[in-house]
Amino acid sequence: AYLVQRGIPVMGHVGLRPQAVLTDGAFKAKGRTDEERLRVMSEAEATADAGAFAVVIEGVAEGLARDITLAIDKPTIGIGASSACDGQILVTPDMLGLFDWTPKFVRRYADLRGEIDRAVAAYADDVKARRFPAEVETYFSKKPATL
């Protein structure tokens, strides 16, 4: 509420919070037990009541995401919280396949890590074989060099 009272827009974040994984326990879905469900729902309601303009719901069971979306009067943005939210987030490096591991809720739309690995290997091969830089990538003086 402190930030909102000073006119600073705040978006809340409930459920799995990667920034708090050391205090929260682990990278695992939230809201599967009654205790977790009550805690996350309470946090979402308190966040909305404190004046957040929206609430990110991350890594929670689908039923809880739906209940939060129905219970609060702010838009909910899901990341691993099912289609029951008002909107969705998908982290760009995850969707582009830049990492070896991604959470269950990520859909990879590309394999850019594979493309990057191939490009770097081709570059290294060209440098080692002295194919890069070639004449086309090299600047030349108009006058012959003098020593």
- Residues with a catalytic annotation lie at 58
Number of H helices, E strands in the chain: 6, 4
Q: Is 10:3 a contact under the CB 8 Å cutoff?
A: yes
Q: How far apart are CA 18 and CA 50, in angstroms?
A: 22
DSSP assignments along 73-108, one per residue: SS-EEEESS-TTSSEE---HHHHTT-SS---TT---
Q: How far apart are CA 41 and CA 57, in angstroms?
A: 10
DSSP label at residue 131: -
